[in-house]
Amino acid sequence: MPAIAYYISLPILYGISLLPFPLLYLFSDFMYLLLYKLIGYRKKVVGRNLRNAFPEKSEKEIKQIQGRFYRYFCDLVLETLKTLTIKETTLKKRLTFEDTAIFKNYYQQGRSLIVVMGHWGNWELAGARFSLEPFHQLFVIYHPLANKHFDRLVYHMRTRLGNKLYPMKEAFRGMVRDRQEVTATAFIADQTPPPKGAYWTNFLNQETPVFTGTAKIAKKLNYPIVYVGIERPRRGYYHIKTEILADQPADFAEDELSEMHTRRLEQDIIKQPEFWLWTHRRWKHKKTNK
């Protein structure tokens, strides 16, 4: 059955990917009415997350952010499908870099680095756009899907323009293996880790577990940590910002490094909350006293 579902859905997915952007966003508007207004997809989760994250906001403000989020969420899903077929010229037109000097300088020094991001803005399009820059070989850490057919499709989507992938459980081993290359390894650092062994901090007004792997690997390999934020100045266009968080991670404690990228992402989310993935059950774990 999974194979049948895959082969039925494949031409549909490619058909959506080939839509010109005006039609894509018309379809997205329809999806918004369906998912948000009619079905209410994860509406309770989104509402609870927003209220807990912004206790100072009124119910009217929360509803406004929620509505803007669902509009963006539908755009995000369909824009991600565009990575199946999008042209390089289109990527360069729709995603601009604030400054590539950070990557250029580290590349000229022969220094590999760690890119830390969150589910803020379209991280899939940003990864595809990075592949067009003449600097580091980008590796993206990912969770392989249980369905092998769809996993192969996602793998193709993320690597068709030259990026490479590390399965999460093999990330450190792969980075050590590839130390002779000048690489940038992208960590999406706002996912939910198991509570045991996580670093706990206050994030968006809530006790939150943070993956320690980013800090541990950065410290062990002493790869600079560069934060990447993906702003959306208008529909269909993104602006990629870069900022060095730690040039010499070996000089910092792991908890300090975890705080750095968590606080930086939090700043962006507070500034434009509708562009973060609020459907994610980020706070499903609670801290227990030792």
Q: Per-residue pLDDT tens for 19-70?
A: 999 999 999 999 999 999 999 999 999 999 999 999 999 999 999 999 999 9
Has residue 290 got a pLDDT over 60?
no
Assess if residue 190 is contained within a domain. Answer: yes
Q: Over the stretch 117-131, which tens digit does the pLDDT of each residue have?
A: 999 999 999 999 999
CB 190 within 8 A of CB 179: no
Residue 289 pLDDT: 60
Asked if residue 130 and residue 31 are part of one domain, the reply reads: no
Asked if residue 92 and residue 78 are part of one domain, the reply reads: no
For the residues 281-285, what does the mean pLDDT come to? Answer: 91
Percent of the chain with pLDDT over 90: 92
Q: Over the stretch 174-211, which tens digit does the pLDDT of each residue have?
A: 999 999 999 999 999 999 999 888 999 999 999 999 99
For the residues 243-266, what does the mean pLDDT come to? Answer: 98
Asked if residue 65 and residue 148 are part of one domain, the reply reads: no
Residue 288 pLDDT: 75
Assess if residue 172 is contained within a domain. Answer: yes
**Cα–Cα dist 127/142, whole Å:** 12
Assess if residue 283 is contained within a domain. Answer: no
Asked if residue 78 and residue 95 are part of one domain, the reply reads: no
Domain count, the chain: 2
Q: Over the stretch 73-96, which tens digit does the pLDDT of each residue have?
A: 999 999 999 999 999 999 999 999
Asked if residue 41 and residue 180 are part of one domain, the reply reads: no
Has residue 1 got a pLDDT over 70?
no
Asked if residue 208 and residue 117 are part of one domain, the reply reads: yes
Q: Which domain holds residue 271?
A: 88-275
Mean per-residue pLDDT over the chain, rounded: 95
Asked if residue 98 and residue 47 are part of one domain, the reply reads: no
Asked if residue 253 and residue 141 are part of one domain, the reply reads: yes
Asked if residue 61 and residue 103 are part of one domain, the reply reads: no
Has residue 145 got a pLDDT over 60?
yes
Asked if residue 199 and residue 93 are part of one domain, the reply reads: yes
Assess if residue 55 is contained within a domain. Answer: yes
Has residue 151 got a pLDDT over 60?
yes
Assess if residue 285 is contained within a domain. Answer: no
Asked if residue 231 and residue 108 are part of one domain, the reply reads: yes
List helix spans (H) across the chain.
2-17, 21-32, 43-53, 59-82, 88-94, 101-108, 123-130, 148-159, 171-177, 213-221, 254-271
Assess if residue 170 is contained within a domain. Answer: yes
